[in-house]
Amino acid sequence: MGCANKDNLPKSYPMVGGDGTQSYAQNSSYQNIIEAVELKLIQLAEHQDPSALEFQVFFSDQYDNDFNTLFKTLPHSRRYFAAGVPGSFYGRLFPKSCLHFVHSCYALHWLSKVPEEIVDRNSPSWNSDSIHCTGSVKGVAEAYSARFRNDVEAFLNARTQEVVPGGLIVILILAVPDGIPFPKTAAGVLYDVFGSCLIDMAKMGLISEEKVYSFNLPIYHATPKELETLIQRNKYFSIERMEELNHPMRNTPFTAEDYTSNLRPVFEEIIKDHFGNEYVNQIFHNYTIKIAENLSIIEEKTNDIIDLFILLKRIISTD
């Protein structure tokens, strides 16, 4: 087997590894799913011996993911066989028609890469005043949307090959309500606050302005209508259910420290990769202070980011 050129691989955005207080493992309660699958399996096997049922779970993530911590924390009494599969889900990961159930949890809003035109100074879509599509350049939002559209198409095309006819895909994803401009949402405010921290660091001469201007978050929060349209363009999956979840954490008051604890495990490696290690702690310290100053505004907009549940079924025949 040949070795792929790393430059041709999709950009990897690993979470903070290990199991420390700032690790993704300690700040990702939304991703607990295996217990639910196990319970459902036992319920379905009510008239037979549950110990006779066996199934395989493949944990897939980017090449740089901390698989060691994952494997160390798997319960010894689990009712499934486990394996790790590194790679981007925007491409094929498994042989044809081998998966019966796919679960994508708060991952599909990550882009395969930052849109090229928004980091090009010579492009009319150069994103010079924001780190996301919250600024004044119209073309930036269009570039993000186009990149997301291509990525979702690639994700579905890959799963079309891998999922058996009648198989299911569950997607949990952060989305924004239809009709609300992204800059007006809680996520838009949070990203703008984070960007302002980087600008402050540049004004103090700690990081270069060029580094700030060239930094953009590889994330896109679509609307339910956008997602529905993209899925319907793929003729191999039907939408069985699409609904907003009422997650209990949505009703829990967040402090500024809570917001930082949630954001840092996700963004720290991106910050290190772009700006270096030296000022990471100060950036997140300043972020906590600024979030505290804007907490009332953010709290007013917490319902502007929704947890969307999507259940897809692989169509048996397209005739």
192 assigned to some structural domain: yes
pLDDT tens digits along 73-82: 888 888 789 9
- Is 234 domain-assigned? yes
The tens digit of pLDDT for each residue in 159-178 reads 999 999 999 999 999 999 99
Q: Which long-range contacts (CB under 8 A, 24 or more apart) does 148-153 make?
A: 148/109, 148/111, 148/220, 148/222, 148/226, 149/230, 150/112, 151/90, 151/108, 151/111, 151/112, 152/108, 152/227, 152/230, 152/231, 153/230, 153/233, 153/234
Task: Quote the percentage of the chain above a pLDDT of 70.
Answer: 82
Residue 125 confidence (pLDDT): 94
Please give the pLDDT value at position 249.
65
- Report if residue 58 sits inside a domain: no
Give the pLDDT of residue 11.
Answer: 56
pTM: 0.84
75 within some domain: no
Predicted local distance difference test score (pLDDT) of residue 13: 53
55-74 average pLDDT score = 88
**Which pLDDT score, from 0 to 100, does residue 122 have?**
93
Q: What is the CATH number of the domain that holds 108?
A: 1.10.1200.220
pLDDT of res. 138 = 85
Give the pLDDT of residue 78.
80
Tell whether the model's pLDDT for residue 30 goes beyond 50: no
| Residue-level pLDDT at 303 | 73
For residue range 176-196, list pLDDT tens digits in order. 999 888 888 889 999 999 999
Domain-embedded: residue 180? yes
110 occurs within a structural domain: yes
Whole domain around residue 190: which residue ranges?
88-314
**Residue 261 token pair:** 């604890």
310: in domain: yes
For 11-29, the pLDDT digits (tens) are: 545 445 445 554 444 444 4
| Residue 35 counted as domain residue | no
Look at the chain and report how many structural domains it folds into: 1
Question: How confident is the model at residue 9, as a pLDDT?
Answer: 41
